[in-house]
Structure 1
């Protein structure tokens, strides 16, 4: 923590960090950041937003490239410089898969993101969420792994009666409202899914094959919605190193005991609890078992969660910021970002603190990708060259 300091960016990297003001006579641009907080650009390892950008209403499809570009802007404006679009590789039962969650659709979205990456403001990557009980989607994921289009794999099992949806009645109620379907239809589909999972002894063998391929590509492996110590033990056999959104404190503690990094949802902190009645993220932070926060379905929640933890006196600012930057970079093997240090990528955000903290500027690899009127008025432009100085 530097109460008042200066930062010099040269090209794409952080060149120098100094105490006090940055000299105003440098070439390039000087930004007056007084009253603002300079933080590393946030890294989101799990965001579900692209699916809803492509299909904002059931059955309403938007052009894939437009959806990617719109999400890109939204993430940049929320201070996220690296993001993993979490795409669901799963199918419903009896051919009732949703349009936006299927192996085929996830393959199309992954390909679109990969082909557009060089045109985007942020570093957008693919987090493939593989639904273990639906091995029919495995070929689509295997093809993407073969092509090097995936950056992370997580193992999911949304079979009701365990994991995130341990309460069957609550599950039927939630899915009925979400899909605008009758509870009777959802309940019938649910029982069919449970039966299918019980009757297929090969589902975990297929998952093991996918994990082996992902590890050969050097990708991190995560589990999803772990609910028991036994589930964590099972996931450890699959080389899982990240436990996403554990639904009980016991599972989170066991994950930590096994050397896994634990992720909780930022919306959980913003709302003051889990929307599905599972583990409170604040409770998990207080228990000392949280390493990272993820945007999940709301990118704006990431920054808010950081400052809620600070304002409540749960964590100091530098520790809270690590949950969305340094710790995430470490867990995902992103060694060139996540910290403010000379020689690292100049991925930075300028934040105005207050009752509702606001991102005023986002910089990726030394280039402003989101710059609001507040910072535009503070920027002294000498020469739009490669050397830029930021004084906070």
Structure 2
């Protein structure tokens, strides 16, 4: 783990604090937000924002298997994911790992491998990386194994998911290309064995919910297709409603006071009317509590600016969807805002280019670039040249390209 930065005061920036953009300084020492006269770094022309908390991200799968037949070592994938997340302002990341009858990278065997790899990697991680287990509801026969893995690797977040009916429909109509390994006999066998235990699923989920409550595990459901499904999960304590596939499911969760987590990627790349859910509309109606990266880390920042520029949402309100609200949802009061005594999880953005140039995690440097990097390294030195707005930037020629 990298060392803390020396005690510093960031001055001249516009800071998101107490729910408003304020022109004030912020001091950090020993990994926390503090006060007092400290050596200063001039960040005029920058925003300082709370670090992003990503509640559901599967981008690591791209680093693990960039091609279906090309799988890399999990430690290598975690290292690459760690750096990508930090460069995109994520300071706490929940990596979505399947526990499914689909097998392969979503099966229990690989889930245990991934959990063990992250357990080892965390000592050297730049950001706070955790696992969110996406558990298929029909994995009745793996209940003991699931709980053993959760206890061994201290998993604190589980989401129930049911893709069995959709998969059966795809098989029925011959749409095998949409499925991972669906054409293999082994996959078909796992599917039909899971289907055979359908009557046991409600009791299975209730037993898991009881244990989760005893252990203090946060849990919910993902991909709810209607309000009734959402209500059934809520009744057993699975409060989180992530990526609902129908507006009724999201509205039902909101009516019951349960958090609704939507895809930032869908906010900036809408799926069209067939998706049944307009992320932007739900945000504007107050039905969305948090945005998650889904499968693309840059979507978090893009969604924030889209809400601000196109949909009339204030920057503090938009940013709360990726920082303060996720922290509240996950019961992590030490992060999500820039209050005194909180973890020094900061994102530093150039006001003109709107790009992230630095990410600090618990007072440690996780990512540093651009003019902000020069100022940190120069401890407050002024920029040698004026900022160039993004709209006026030109492509560098080989003669002017920096090494």
Higher relative contact order (CA 8 A, sep 6+): 1
TM bucket, shorter chain = 0.7 to 0.9
Deviation at 1:313, TM superposition (A): 3.1
Structure 1 unmatched runs, 5+ = 18-22, 384-392
Deviation at 1:50, TM superposition (A): 2.5
Contact 2:119 2:153 in 1 (8 A): no
Establish whether residue 314 from structure 1 lines up as the match of residue 312 from structure 2.
yes
The alpha-carbon distance between structure 1 residues 352 and 167, as it changes in their structure 2 partners (threshold 3 A), is farther
> Residue 83 of structure 1 aligns with which residue?
93
The alpha-carbon distance between structure 1 residues 202 and 179, as it changes in their structure 2 partners (threshold 3 A), is closer
Mapping of 1:326-337 within 5 angstroms? 326-337=324-335
> Residue 46 of structure 2 aligns with which residue?
36
Deviation at 1:311, TM superposition (A): 0.7
**1:212-239 deviation digits (Å, cap 9, x = unpaired):** 2222221111111112221111001220
Establish whether residue 227 from structure 1 lines up as the match of residue 207 from structure 2.
no
TM-score, normalisation: structure 2: 0.81
Deviation at 1:209, TM superposition (A): 2.3
**Alignment counterpart, residue 375 of structure 2, candidates 371, 378, 383:** 378
Question: Hey, what's the Cα distance between the residues in 2 that align with 1:228 and 1:260?
Answer: 15
**1:78-130 deviation digits (Å, cap 9, x = unpaired):** 100001111000023xxxx3x21101101110111122212100000111110
> Residue 208 of structure 1 aligns with which residue?
206
> Residue 147 of structure 1 aligns with which residue?
152
Question: Hey, what's the Cα distance between the residues in 2 that align with 1:156 and 1:171?
Answer: 22
> Residue 118 of structure 1 aligns with which residue?
123
The alpha-carbon distance between structure 1 residues 140 and 115, as it changes in their structure 2 partners (threshold 3 A), is farther
Question: Hey, what's the Cα distance between the residues in 1 that align with 2:112 and 2:208?
Answer: 15
Structure 2 unmatched runs, 5+ = 1-19, 381-403
**Alignment counterpart, residue 365 of structure 1, candidates 337, 362, 366:** 362
> Residue 139 of structure 2 aligns with which residue?
134
Establish whether residue 253 from structure 1 lines up as the match of residue 263 from structure 2.
no
Contact 1:107 1:140 in 2 (8 A): no
Contact 2:240 2:260 in 1 (8 A): yes
Deviation at 1:166, TM superposition (A): 11
> Residue 6 of structure 2 aligns with which residue?
none
Q: Which moved more, 1:205-214 or 1:31-40?
A: 205-214
TM-score, normalisation: structure 1: 0.84
The alpha-carbon distance between structure 1 residues 229 and 159, as it changes in their structure 2 partners (threshold 3 A), is same
Question: Hey, what's the Cα distance between the residues in 1 that align with 2:348 and 2:291?
Answer: 19
What is the total number of aligned residue pairs between the two structures? 361
Structure 1 SS opposite 2:237: coil
For the aligned residues, what is the CA RMSD?
A: 3.0
